[in-house]
A and B are shown apart, each in its own frame.
Chain A
Amino acid sequence: MLSALLLQAGMSLTTARTPAGVGGPVSGYWPVMVFFAVAVVFPVLPVVLGRFVRPNLYGEAKMRPYECGIDPTTEAHDRFTVRFYIVAMLFLVFDVETIFLLPWAIIFMGDDFSFTKFALLEMFFFIGILVVGYYYAWRKGALEWA
């Protein structure tokens, strides 16, 4: 029903407003650079200008880290559980693997569905290896939190 609703439609293929001959792969990043500059200035400005309107009074009790009203006795930079490191390592493996899958996904169908069988087998192979590692991690309890 919904698909039938969507299937009736005009073709409206539109591209970005870059005229032919301009906007190669590198110059397309100029607006990103400009945006970056603006995005850095935007948060810095109110903080810097706010210096003129906000009070700045020193108070010893005010500077103490919050610990429900009790004076902290130790440094906060203490040892913490090793599980965070395990999560970080697992993340590294899986995120790199995502990067490998992205270009594969783009060429999977190709322009004319000619590549599909080989690509499918390749994907099974790649994800198969990944699943073995995933199973190992799970079996070893790396994914358990508590």
Chain B
Amino acid sequence: MFSLLFAPPNFVDDLLLKLFSQETVNFVVWPFIQIGAVITLIAVWALYASYLERKISAFMQARLGPMRVGKWGLLQPIADAVKLLTKEDLMPERADPYIFRFAPYIAVAATFLTFSVVPFAPNWGVITDVNIGLLLVLAVSSVGVLALILAGWSSNSKYALLGGLRSSAQMVSYEVSMGLSLVGALMFARTLSLSGIVGAQASDSVWFFLYQPLAFAIFFVSGIAENNRAPFDLPEAESELVAGFHTEYSGMRWSLFFMAEYAAMVVVAGVATTVFLGGWYFPGVLRLAGGYNNLYVFLSLFVFVVKCAVLLYLYFWFRWTFPRYRYDQLMDLGWKWLIPASLLNIVWTGLTVFTVQALDGWNNIKTIESLKGAPNLARGLNLTATGKGVAIALGWAGLLVAALFLAAVNWRSRDFNLKKQRRQVRLVDVPKGKPAVATTAATGEG
């Protein structure tokens, strides 16, 4: 049993290959095992995320949180699940029955499908490594918007409709900056395959977070907004919209939305980990495991989970740190700050790469390693230590540049429309230093 850990990772293949053909093993048998494991883990996470959420909120407010069901309230999620399963499944009158019943399935399926391309660990930790993995993640996760808008529309409730519209507008706005922020990291990775992105970071042993701090910040903020989490939980602003798009849902269907939300958090954390934080890669793990064996895969899996957990904890932390945005502030942040920032990041990254290339051979500085005999794709950037240092320094300088740029842009543009209004609205006979009183010049009143 213990020796299995040090066996090469494909040891089960020999066993499976006796029963099935190579293709069946690779594309049906293994995926079923992996998918079963992943779905179970996500379901357990979705259950216990509510527990974690309540416990962390409680500790941040010097309370204890759920304590009654089981030791430390550990069985609370199970009790909740049983309760939800036995709750009546209500549908409001004059709702659209098919869409209303169908929407939660879209939410869960779209979110879960994203996990099929996330590399959890090397070798058997990858369910499948499609060559456009990141594009698939972006495409499939944006289907989740449909679920919200369909749920909100079909409920025949005003709160649900408003919540659905709000959340779809919000998710759609932040999806742009999310996609654009990934472009910067992709310029270093040079592949859309998620395993390839991890490989590019591993062979260089530089996480893209170091090259792309601005892109990471944009991605994570957009990710929080995509998941409708605080401080961007406008669709579920309970003080104004009751529960947003799922106001009319009850029982199991409601819990499906809930599950989709928590699973989507893991998707964003997982993609952020993979693209910016090196995925399952951590320096020295291979040496620790003593070779490319099962132990190495397990340790890599552990590394991935720890990185994800850190990001997921940030979600809970942010919820109790930042007050909720107003809706116009939210749209401003998305369209006027994050999108220009992500465009600037692309330009800046392009200039960084150009600078690194231009510096090579100038004053005996060597930034690019000799490319003779370099292996093909999914390898590092061929940068020397100097080149990496320059790229990292420029990347962090990009933070400052972006801050100044955005401040300038928003400062200059804050009165784009006010100017027009000022031209139309004339303030007549206003004494200096006194507040203006609204008058209508045409009718002559007031």
Contact = CB atoms under 8 A, between A and B. Distances in A.
Contact of A25 (B124, B131, B188): B131
B45 to A, nearest CB: 14
Nearest to A36: B113
Interface string A24-68: 010111111011101110111011001101111100001111111
B318 interface: no
Interface string B327-361: 11001100110011001001100110110010000
Interface residues of B, number: 131
Given A54-B87, A56-B88, A75-B156, A105 B328 contact: no
Contacts of B242: 66, 68
Interface string A65-100: 111100010011110100110011011001100110
Contacts of B397: none
A25 B28 CA distance: 16
Contacts of B402: none
Given A13-B202, A124-B347, A141 B417 contact: yes
B392 interface: yes
B89 A54 contact: yes
A5 B283 contact: yes
Contacts of A90: 335
A68 B122 CA distance: 52
B22 interface: yes
Contacts of B95: 65
Contact of B127 (A31, A87, A88, A94): A31
Contacts of B350: 108, 119-120, 123-124
A15 B109 contact: no
A109 B317 CA distance: 38
Interface stretch (B51-59, B63-71, B244-252, B268-276): B244-252
B148 interface: no
A8 B283 contact: yes
A132 interface: no
Interface stretch (B176-184, B221-229, B428-436): B176-184
Contact of B129 (A18, A56, A116): A18
Nearest to B10: A17
A145 B331 contact: yes
A34 B180 CA distance: 30
Contacts of A62: 90
Contacts of A95: 175-176, 179
A138 B129 contact: no
B399 to A, nearest CB: 15
Interface string B158-185: 1111100100110011011001101110
B377 A63 contact: no
Interface in A1-32: 2-3, 5-19, 22-23, 25, 27-32
A4 to B, nearest CB: 9
A65 B248 contact: yes
A80 B28 CA distance: 48
Of the listed residues A12, A19, A36, the one surrounded by the most CB atoms of chain B closer than 10 A to its CB is A12
Given A54-B251, A56-B89, A111-B376, 13 more contacts: A12-B285, A14-B202, A19-B26, A22-B22, A35-B115, A39-B112, A50-B86, A63-B91, A65-B248, A77-B153, A83-B169, A108-B353, A145-B331
12 contacts: A6-B206, A19-B22, A35-B112, A40-B105, A47-B104, A65-B93, A65-B156, A78-B161, A105-B346, A109-B187, A134-B339, A145-B327
Interface of A: 2-3, 5-19, 22-23, 25, 27-32, 34-36, 38-40, 42-44, 46-47, 50-51, 53-57, 62-68, 72, 75-78, 80, 83-84, 87-88, 90-91, 94-95, 98-99, 101-102, 105-109, 111-113, 116-117, 119-120, 123-124, 127, 130-131, 134, 138-139, 141, 143-146
Among all A-B residue pairs, the 7 with the closest Cβ atoms: A9-B283, A9-B205, A16-B129, A31-B31, A39-B112, A65-B157, A145-B328
